[in-house]
Structure 1
Amino acid sequence: MNQLSNPLRVHTALFIVSLIYAANYSLSKEVMPHYVGPYGIVVLRVVTAAVVFEVLARLFAKERITGRADNIRSILCGISGIGLNQLLFFGGLNLTTPISASLVQTISPIVVVLASVVLLGERITLKRALGIGIAGAGAAMVILSRGPAGAAGQSVALGNLLILLNATFFGLYLVLVAPLMRKYHAFTVLARSFLVGAFIVVPFGFKQALAPDYAELPLRIWVIILYMVFMLTVVAYLLNNWALKHASPALLGVYIYLQPILAVLIAVALGKDHLTWGRALQGTLIFAGVWLVSQKPKHKTIIGKEVPLEPVQD
């Protein structure tokens, strides 16, 4: 879509979504692992979202996914886009720093392209190949850098690697979910995906979810938990899905870059991380690579416009 419908509202929606996701990198560190373990947070978020989207699907969609192929695809979406995605993100963020995590996650559009090459027959141009190499070099520098000690001290590199895997699975999810989003109501697809995801995350995190004495948690921690459970999943998704119906691909690309920039500013402002020249170089390489990869061949589109380009975290 070359024209924007209601530009101010579209920009506002996309900015709020970017801000919600960006703030999560630092706010999550307030909660885990001291108050609630990372997998406990995942359980709280995914189970709540599964219930919310099931209710929304029954109220507004009133349809079910049918056919063996679509059902298998929806299960794969729940595994890659919800279950593994969430476990890897919060597990990785628990070990690394907000800035490193936000930079590594920016490579998800590259994973979308690579998955599209394999699954959809998308072609790789020389420019895209160069972009993959540049962004890959930047991501490798982030992953291998030690940075400030995280929750696990020497496990920063492991945390960065988990975030990379998180971005990989979410990129795969975006390609898998595209046909379903074009065929079914978004609430129907999300309800199924989060239901499958709930079955995956509960065995990993139910003990962490039940461990805290929630009555004794400080009000500030309660607010952050509610933020992660509702704002990250329900509010951000609804705003994102509406904006994607009215925004041009070029505009969406701008907001892909805005999220890590906001994450850096928030992390530095809250004292959760600090920006160095090395981090700036790593981010520049990743941004440059993603920009080159995002230059799509004119004859094809990788995914439908209504696919929720959520950052990998949720």
Structure 2
Amino acid sequence: MQSSTTDLLSARREPLSGVYAALFLQVVINAGTYLAGKRAMEELPPLTVVMWRFLLSATLFCLLLAFTPGPKLPPRSEWRRVFMLGLLAGPLNQVLFFHGLSRSTAAHAALLYALTPLGVYLLGLVRGQERASSRAVLGILTAFTGVVVLLLGRGLASARGSLLGDLLILGAVIAWIAYTTEGKPFASAHGSVRSTAWSMVAAALLLLPVAPFVLEPSRTFSASPSALGSIAYLAVLTSVVAYLIWYYALTKVPASHAAIFSNLQPVMTALAAWLLLGESLHGELILGGALVLVGVRLTQRAPTVPGRPAVQRA
């Protein structure tokens, strides 16, 4: 009897281990997003980078939809929600993020994005998608404390940006919180591939009216291979692979459980700086990283809302 119970629990845990492994991969990709964005904006304006990113990713998603069984277009009743998600993901989140990042630092952006799990959790409570849990709150606050310790350990200057940059990045964080919370039921209803593809294509369509003013093809194609490679990274890995993982995770776990992984990004950035840039390791990295990992684990173990089975479409 005990063995069968253990097998049942293991069967329940096994799929989630794959989800969390995928979220860890998304963290690695997103940690590189800060660096790729900064590199591309050394040669190109923020709106030009965003425009090319979404045009390329939308093209890839259209190809993906063409080879995915099932409907290619969202139901007419969902068009409003699709364009709302596209607005949150493109013109709001990414335009605000890149303009803010151009005026601030990657470390400071990571610190502000560490507020995401708390915002997702609170908004999920309001929408009935999350269950009130002291364990979840403790986990989120513990992880955020770890981010603060990590970034302050790298120096106060690395955690300080301009006021305008701060406000723009904070606006991007709010848009991402809304995108995550609103996107969870949408992804559960339509599947991760179509949900991501529809919202990313909608984002590109919403940005299309400004394309003649910001695309600057001659300037873009004369940019260095490093800058062009950074745009390709943003379009393929960040906008396609990472977004697909994100919506896939939202069909499997509560939004706050997925969002808490964003607190690992500053840790990954610090490790990348150690491996690639030769920055020294310090006690704050170990302490901050440990706090983040404890916070992630606490949030994962928080109770979830028993909901109706999601309607999955392949």
Assess same fold via TM > 0.5: yes
1:18 to partner: Cα distance: 2.2
TM normalised by structure 2 equals 0.72
Over 3 Å counting, the alpha-carbon distance change for 1:304 and 1:93 in structure 2 is: farther
TM normalised by structure 1 equals 0.72
Q: What amino acid maps onto 1:40 in structure 2?
A: T
1:236 to partner: Cα distance: 3.0
Pairing of 1:112-127 with structure 2 (within 5 A): 112-120=120-128, 122-126=130-134
Match of 1:45 in 2: 53
Distance in structure 2 (CA, Å) of the matches to 1:303 and 1:90? 37
Pairing of 1:169-180 with structure 2 (within 5 A): 169-180=175-186
User: Which has the larger helix fraction?
Assistant: 2
Over 3 Å counting, the alpha-carbon distance change for 1:138 and 1:258 in structure 2 is: closer
Q: Which runs of 5+ in 2 are unaligned?
A: 1-10
1:190 to partner: Cα distance: 2.3
1:139 to partner: Cα distance: 8.7
Distance in structure 1 (CA, Å) of the matches to 2:234 and 2:210? 18
Q: Which runs of 5+ in 1 are unaligned?
A: 307-314
Structure 1 contact 180–189 (Cα < 8 Å) conserved: yes
1:47 to partner: Cα distance: 1.8
| 1:181 and 2:190 aligned | no
1:222 to partner: Cα distance: 2.0
Structure 1 contact 42–201 (Cα < 8 Å) conserved: no
Match of 2:79 in 1: 71
Over 3 Å counting, the alpha-carbon distance change for 1:288 and 1:79 in structure 2 is: farther
Match of 1:99 in 2: 107
1:122 to partner: Cα distance: 3.8
Taking only aligned residues, the RMSD between alpha carbons, in angstroms, comes to 4.5
Larger RCO: 1 or 2 (CA < 8 Å, sep 6+): 1
| 1:28 and 2:34 aligned | no
1:243 to partner: Cα distance: 7.2
Percent of paired sites with the same residue? 25
| 1:81 and 2:71 aligned | no
| 203, 214, 227: which one aligns with 1:221 | 227
Distance in structure 2 (CA, Å) of the matches to 1:41 and 1:50? 14
Structure 1 contact 146–156 (Cα < 8 Å) conserved: no
1:48 to partner: Cα distance: 1.8
Alignment deviations for residues 260-287 of structure 1 (CA, whole Å, 9 cap, x no partner): 2111232465559999999999988888
Alignment deviations for residues 118-177 of structure 1 (CA, whole Å, 9 cap, x no partner): 22264534555666777788999989x97259xxxx952332332232222112112211
Q: Which range moves more in the overlay, 45-54 or 295-304?
A: 295-304
1:195 to partner: Cα distance: 2.8
Match of 1:309 in 2: none
Structure 1 contact 104–139 (Cα < 8 Å) conserved: no
Q: Which range moves more in the overlay, 94-103 or 269-278?
A: 269-278
Match of 1:159 in 2: 165
Match of 1:311 in 2: none
Q: Count how many residue pairs are aligned between Structure 1 and Structure 2.
A: 298
Q: What amino acid maps onto 1:85 in structure 2?
A: N
| 1:147 and 2:151 aligned | no
Q: Which range moves more in the overlay, 158-167 or 125-134?
A: 125-134
